[in-house]
Structure 1
Amino acid sequence: MSKYLTLVILIIGFSCSKEGEQAPTGGSELPLPEVQITDDELLDLTQKSTFKYFWDFAHPNSGAARERYHPSNPANDQNTVSVGGTGFGLMAILIGIERNYINRGEAVDRLNKIVTFLENADRFRGAWPHWLDGNTGKVRSFSPQDNGGDLVETAFLVQGLICVKEYFKNGSDTEKALANKIDVLWKGVEWNYYTQNQNALYWHWSPTNGFAINLMLRGYNETLITYVLAAASPDHSISKEVYTNGWAANGAIKSGNIKYGHPLIVRHPGSPLLGGPLFFSHYSYLGLNPNGLADAYVNYGDASISHSLINYNYALENPKKFKDYGKDCWGLTASYTRNSTGGIGYTAHSPVNDTGVISPTAAISSIPYTPEESLSAMRYFYKNKDKLLGPAGFYDAFSPQFDFWVADAYLAIDQGPQIIMIENYRTGLLWNLFMQNTEVKAGLDKLGFSYAK
């Protein structure tokens, strides 16, 4: 459900003692001690429970990631598949193998199902749409004009496909065949068509509406990965000028603003001092390693760290005096939200759009940038596990301010970054797979990037 912020933002079962329960001891009642959990155990629990979103609750016909899952109403929109979320799910399945949640054979079977579905699904000049019907593979419109190719969701998907290709390319004959199918699939995306013959990439193209939405991909936001993959494409590549004028705005992407002692580094549209929602520093960097990643204007690892620290320090300052905000309860990004009437909605939470709602994915997925601060937040979420921990990980959003309101819901694009970024923090698995790809390295070189080699 991530969507072009500059245009519009639409939108485990664990049994444990509750705080304050009393236990009889020698005829008297004493409070139970708080359950202790190590950092590794907490990371294990978060990854394993979140993995279930992409394995246990995936779409049964396609194997792909559902856009959303409501445990109390599992039939809600159950056939809408998220293209970008499926890319995140592909990466989660690789983690599942490495963490022994599933075996290699099970994973290959599921991955073949997903890839076959994607081969036969609707594509528009090689790009998939934002949403697909999980049964038919037909496009599901995201908005009236958005019924065709979505280049950014396609990039999120391709990021995952490339990781799978790299993981299996030297495996068994069956695994090599899967890797080869993926190679053909992603190289069919006509990235250069989405320039409209201009020096920029554009988000959408529809066979009925053309480029009517006309949304240029210009930083800083979540779309850097799109330019890297467009440059990496062997047959449908873009020039460096498309990147320089489009994403980098000929250097205007840079920011000299400083907040809480941290330079923002990049220009965030709509929030030039405090930074936008934290997914800006997550989605492109699930495979693309931000550490040491720099173009002629910006070091993106430094930008991601500063973005996360400013978001954290905003919670410490807590200018709106929301309950529980602080060093253990922080993290603003796009997620479900509590609207003014108490109902459920969706918005891109940020310091300039703070409604008192915390999104666990914000702090958890920032763990490579803010390990201590992220673990503190995870301990708060775990302390409140009776409310916050459900069948597929921590619920999407909550608000201590409003009687500890919790969104009984999950979104693919919020669950995916948690398991992936924790793994990158622990082992670098997805970063290593993506960055070893020959075409990716060629694309980064073409755009003039320096990066860890």
Structure 2
Amino acid sequence: MKLPDDVELRVLQHETFRYFLHEASPVNGLIADKTEPGWPASIAATGLALAAYPIGVDRSFISRDEAIEPTLKVLRFFWTSPQGTEPDATGYRGFFYHFLDMQTGRRAWDCEVSTIDTTFLLAGALTARIFFDRDTDEEQEIRALAEALYKRADWQWAQNGGETVSHGWRPETGFIPYRWEGYDEALLLYVMGLGSPTFPLPQSSYAAWCSTYEWKECQGIEFLYAGPLFTHQLSHIWIDFRGIQDYYMREKDIDYFENSRRATFVQQRYAIDNPLGFAHYGSCCWGITASDGPGPVTLKIDGITREFQDYVGRGVPYGPDDGTIAPWVVVASVPFAPEIVLPTVDHFIHEVKLKSQNPYGFKASFNPTFPDKSGSPYGWISPWHYGLNQGPIVLMIENYRTGLLWEWMRSCPYLTAGLRRAGFRGGWLDEQHEDDRTG
């Protein structure tokens, strides 16, 4: 029997939330990047967990005490873990390595100190700071640690002498040559950096970032372009962009929320057009983003040579596209376009059966074009769950159903300060500013 949409979403949210309970290190609270045995922790997934625990309390998935324990564990770990130039440290200048060993918490895989993944970690910490507001020793410590971690991040160092922010740094080679330029998930990074009371980004950094934007028309829709769908979502987990605009969006007479809505429709229209002729693409089978895939391998299928990738940043409409669909990224678009998201989620649950025998809701991705030995009409299905996929499902379902996380974060002084320094005006931001002045 098919359940009502709201019930289906609540069930999916609860199942997905379990990832953060069962894939956490008992030693330090770090969250595994994915469920493959021996895999390291992801600091971005850990930040998403810190934001998800309060939602779990509010939804009665866990008790408040059950949420306090892992929150305190992980915040204490990050505050006391080694920061320095040693190659096996946990971070440097208030930022942290992208991947950490699940047991020791030290750098894994010679990875970089990541500015964007640290952004998601700190956003999760600030969520905890807002939610845990009681006058107990434990909740006071959560607030103090979250604030201290945020204030320690040296955003000015992360500019490496330029206007925009570097992707990251390695002790062996210094700063990565790439910078956060072009519209993407770094919208949250710049707002967080601008709002810092200790090492704030200059306002010119935001202007420099916006100057690299690309406004395009794709599938008959004009929007601020970014190819992978997740780039239109992650900043929106924490910030309610409805009705607030920076200079760029005032010129276009839309806001970033509307832009993400348009990006969602571009995805569906691309799947309906299906220019590369992949199996099962259509109005209820879309969602192309950075995701796991069945490759790397080249196969000839029905006379067509196909190149299948593994984990890459797939995008629309310029690719890469190898027929791989990521259900999580569709769910995370539900606040923007529920009228096309909900039927697609229903299709994934009842037709593709992507939740069948899975402990944490949807698997990461599937590819109906790739021949699968199981004989499934929907082809290859990823064997893994990823923390970076699970978090947006939990949090964006909540934003769609209640707007709760958006409501909490509107009271975060650092985010509102960052938005104002970036030039955002209008909507709830102006109303809040007026309340502050008259209060």
1:130 and 1:142 in contact (8 A); partners too:
no
**5 Å matches for 1:72-83?**
75-77=37-39, 80-83=40-43
Where does structure 2 lack aligned partners over 5 or more consecutive residues?
Answer: 82-89, 250-254, 300-307, 371-376, 430-439
In structure 2, the residue matched to 1:28 is none
Structure 1 residue aligned with 2:20: 54
* Contact 2:47 2:121 survives alignment (8 Å): yes
Distance 2:70 2:225 in 1: 40
Q: 1:445 maps to which residue?
A: 420
Residue 366 (structure 2) aligned to one of 390, 393, 398: 398
Give, in angstroms, the shift of residue 175 of structure 1: 1.1
> What residue in structure 2 maps to residue 332 of structure 1?
288
1: CA distance, partners of 2:135 / 2:273: 51
Given that residues 151 and 204 in structure 1 are in contact (C-alpha distance below 8 angstroms), is that contact kept between their aligned partners in structure 2? yes
Residue-by-residue CA offset, 1:303-326 (whole Å, 9 max, x unaligned): 111111101111111122222211
1:277 paired to 2:228: yes
Q: Distance in 1 between matches of 2:330 and 2:225?
A: 21
Query: What SS class does the counterpart of residue 286 from structure 2 fall into?
Result: coil
Aligned to 1:217: 180
User: For structure 1, which runs of at least 5 residues remain unmatched after alignment?
Assistant: 1-34, 269-275
> Would the aligned equivalents of 2:191 and 2:419 in 1 still touch at CA under 8 Å?
yes
| C-alpha deviation, 1:103, in angstroms | 0.3
Provide the C-alpha distance between the structure 1 equivalents of 2:135 and 2:369, rounded to a whole number of angstroms. Answer: 51
Please list the CA deviations of residues 240-282 of structure 1 after superposition, one character each: whole Å capped at 9, or x if unmatched.
111111x212xx4151x32333212x243xxxxxxx0111011
**Post-superposition shift, 1:387?**
4.6
Q: Does 1:195 align with 2:159?
A: yes
* Count of aligned positions: 396
**Deviation of 1:344 (Å):** 7.8
TM superposition score normalised by structure 2: 0.86
Residue pairs, 1:173-252, within 5 angstroms = 173-211=137-175, 213-245=176-208, 247-249=209-211, 252=212
- Tell me the secondary structure at the aligned position of residue 293 of structure 2: strand
Match of 2:386 in 1: 411
Provide the rounded CA distance (Å) in 2 between the counterparts of 1:152 and 1:210.
17
Q: Is the 8 A contact 1:200 1:242 kept in 2?
A: yes
Aligned to 1:286: 237
Match of 2:321 among 342, 347, 354: 354
Q: 1:385 to 1:103 in 2, by over 3 A?
A: farther
Residue 435 of structure 2: aligned partner = none
Could you say what secondary structure the match of 1:181 adopts?
helix
Q: Offset of 1:174 from its aligned partner?
A: 2.1
* Kept in 1: contact 2:182–2:214 (CA 8 A): no
User: 1:184-223 CA deviation, whole Å, 9 max, x = no partner?
Assistant: 1111001111112221211112333221x22111121111
Q: Which residue in 2 is equivalent to 1:262? A: 221
Give, in whole Å, the separation in 1 of the partners of 2:393 and 2:189: 21
Aligned-partner Cα distance in 2 for 1:133–1:175:
27
Secondary structure of the 1:128 match is: strand
Compared with structure 1, are the counterparts of its residues 171 and 382 closer, same or farther at alpha carbon in structure 2 (3 Å cutoff)?
A: farther
CA distance in 2, matches of 1:52, 1:218: 35
CA distance in structure 2 between the partners assigned to 1:208 and 1:321 by the alignment: 45
Residues 267 and 373 of structure 1, relative CA distance in 2, 3 Å threshold: closer
Contact kept? 2:309, 2:322, Cα under 8 Å: no
Where 1:306 maps in the other structure, the secondary structure is: helix
Q: Which runs of 4+ in 1 moved over 6 A?
A: none
Whole-Å Cα distance in 1 between the matches of residues 155 and 96 of structure 2? 12
Between the aligned partners of 2:145 and 2:35, the Cα distance in structure 1 is 29
* Paired AA for residue 41 in structure 1: V
Identity %: 30
Q: Within 1, Cα distance between the matches of 2:354 and 2:69?
A: 35
Give the residue type in structure 1 aligned to 2:390. Answer: Q
Contact 1:155 1:226 in 2 (8 A): yes
Distance 2:110 2:397 in 1: 30
The 3 A distance-change label for structure 1 pair 183 and 259 is: same
CA distance in 2, matches of 1:385, 1:52: 22
Offset at residue 177 of structure 1 (A): 2.0
Task: Tell me which of 297, 315, 318 is aligned to 2:271.
Answer: 315
CA distance in structure 1 between the aligned counterparts of 2:309 and 2:99, rounded to whole angstroms:
21
Question: Paired residue for 2:48?
Answer: 88
Which position in structure 2 is the counterpart of 1:43? 9
Q: Deviations over 1:154-175 (max 9, x none)?
A: 0011111111100113453321
Q: TM-score, normalised by structure 1?
A: 0.84
Alpha-carbon contact 2:334-2:400 (below 8 Å) kept = yes
Letter in structure 1 aligned against 2:369: Q
Say whether the 8 Å CA contact 1:64–1:89 is kept in structure 2. Answer: no
Checking the alignment, whether the CA contact within 8 Å between 1:328 and 1:377 is kept in structure 2 is yes
Alignment CA distance shift 1:447-1:387 (3 Å): closer
Q: CA deviation at 1:59?
A: 2.2
C-alpha spacing 1:387/1:448, structure 2 compared with 1 (3 Å): closer
